């Protein structure tokens, strides 16, 4: 059974709905979920908010938070996931913001650094992972795997 199938089954069993707010993964999280039969029972909506303005418009991320902490930060990932939960009313939410590369990295925020937000029935957890400069699509895949692994761990 794939991670996606396992997650869909758990969500159906618990009567939960899920939403994603994706930047660095560019829709990969939602795409992976809809590969699974019955995904429509657990996913109503998801957002790809690649631009800062989209994060502010659809997820209620504050400009001040982006300016103070950088868009690649746990603070922004937290606002993304809370805004997502407020706007979708999903029980389970995940957000991703980061630098997939190969450009865009700095000394403080290197290529491969991804920040995550998880919302589980009102509880918010943020995490940061540095996957390294492995190539854009490998970083995206690793970030996507990390979200699925973390959600499965949190929901079991």
In tens, the pLDDT along 82-138 reads 999 999 999 999 999 999 999 999 999 999 999 999 999 999 999 999 999 999 999
Taking only the tens place, the pLDDT of each residue in 143-155 is 999 999 999 999 9
* CATH code of 42's domain: 3.90.950.20
pLDDT score for 2 = 97
Number of domains in the chain: 1
Domain that holds residue 98: 3-155
Task: Give CA separation, 17 vs 41, 73, 86, 101, 138, in Å.
Answer: 8, 26, 13, 31, 28
Considering Cα of 114, then 101, then 43, then 6, what sign does the dihedral take?
Answer: negative
Q: Distance between CA 19 and CA 107 in Å, rounded?
A: 32
| pTM of structure | 0.97
Q: How many residues does the chain have?
A: 156
CA 11 to mean position of chain CA atoms: 17
Quickly state the pLDDT bin for 20 (edges 50, 70, 90): very high
The structure tokens listed for 127 are 């995490």
Taking only the tens place, the pLDDT of each residue in 49-92 is 999 999 999 999 999 999 999 999 999 999 999 999 999 999 99
Q: Are strands 18-22 and 123-130 parallel, antiparallel or unpaired?
A: unpaired
């Amino acid at each position: 059974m794939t991670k996606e199938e396992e997650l869909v089954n758990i969500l159906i069993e618990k009567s939960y709905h899920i939403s994603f707010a994706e930047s660095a993964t560019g829709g990969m999280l939602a795409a992976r979920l809809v590969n699974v039969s019955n995904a429509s029972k657990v996913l109503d909506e998801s957002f790809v908010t690649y631009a800062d303005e989209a994060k502010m418009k659809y997820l209620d991320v504050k400009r001040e938070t982006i300016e103070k902490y950088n868009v690649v930060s746990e603070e922004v990932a937290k606002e993304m996931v809370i805004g997502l939960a407020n706007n979708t009313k999903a029980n389970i939410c995940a957000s991703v913001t980061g630098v997939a590369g190969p450009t865009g990295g700095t000394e403080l925020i290197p290529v491969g650094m991804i920040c995550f937000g998880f919302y589980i029935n009102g509880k918010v957890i943020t995490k940061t992972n540095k996957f390294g400069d492995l190539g854009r699509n490998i970083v995206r895949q690793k970030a996507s795997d990390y979200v699925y692994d973390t959600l499965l761990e949190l929901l079991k």
